[in-house]
Amino acid sequence: MKTGSHKRILTGVVISDKADKTVTVVVTRRYKHPLYKKMVTARKKYMAHDEQNLCKSGDRVRIRECAPVSARKRWLVVDKIEKSAAQEGGKS
């Protein structure tokens, strides 16, 4: 019996919005190295589907796993957490 979907949800920063309906999100995580006991920062890039092209470079977004949209896209932008500093300032 299946008890709901267990799709991973990650939070990251948009680093590229050049492609149509696609954003590249970098997700950063910190963990303690098992041997050296030091905190290590690991980064991974994900291609995510952005249907309305709402996300811009620098935005903090939440992405969720989904069925493959294309050859490299298996993530979907769920919501925009905060805008980039450049967008908030506006034009003076």
pLDDT-based confidence at residue 84 (cuts at 50, 70, 90): confident
CATH of the domain at 69: 2.40.50.140
Asked whether residue 39 is assigned to any structural domain, the reply reads yes
* Mean pLDDT of all residues belonging to the chain: 92
How many folded domains does the chain comprise? 1
Neighbours of 69 (CB within 10 A): 16
Is residue 28 a part of any domain in this protein? yes
Q: Is residue 2 part of a domain?
A: no
Q: Does a structural domain hold residue 4?
A: no
Q: What is the DSSP string of the chain?
A: ---S----EEEEEEEE--STTEEEEEEEEEEE-TTT--EEEEEEEEEEE-TT----TT-EEEEEE-S-SSSS--EEEEEEEE--HHHHH---
Domain that holds residue 25: 9-89
3 found inside a domain: no
- What CA–CA distance (Å, rounded) separates 39 from 56? 30
Phi-psi region at 48: left, alpha or beta (left = phi > 0; alpha = psi -120 to 50): beta
In this predicted structure, what is the pLDDT of residue 1?
56
For residues 26 and 86, give the distance between their C-alpha atoms in angstroms, rounded to a whole number.
18
Residues 24-41: tens digit of each pLDDT: 999 999 999 999 999 999
